[in-house]
């Protein structure tokens, strides 16, 4: 399963995911996937209860 597919599934099921940013580990709730000028983007809110 690709990262895109995993994020799409997490959005549909409203589950948190783990990710790294600037060499730090976080958890968050992905909310939207998109693409601008051929570059993939994800809107994700950090934290466990971000779906509420």
Top pLDDT among 48 and 15 is at 15
Cα 18 to Cα 16: distance, rounded to the nearest angstrom: 7
- The pLDDT, as a whole number, for residue 50 is 52
- Which tokens in the block code for residue 26? 């976080």
27: pLDDT strictly greater than 90: yes
pTM, entire model: 0.78
- Which tokens in the block code for residue 30? 């992905």
Cα 34 to Cα 45: distance, rounded to the nearest angstrom: 15
Whether 33 contacts 7, CB under 8 Å: yes
Average pLDDT, rounded, for the chain: 90
């Amino acid at each position: 399963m690709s990262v895109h597919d995993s994020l799409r599934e997490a959005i549909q099921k409203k589950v948190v995911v783990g990710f790294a940013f600037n060499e730090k580990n976080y958890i968050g709730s992905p909310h939207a996937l998109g693409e601008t000028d051929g570059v993939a983007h994800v809107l994700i809110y950090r934290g466990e209860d971000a779906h509420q």
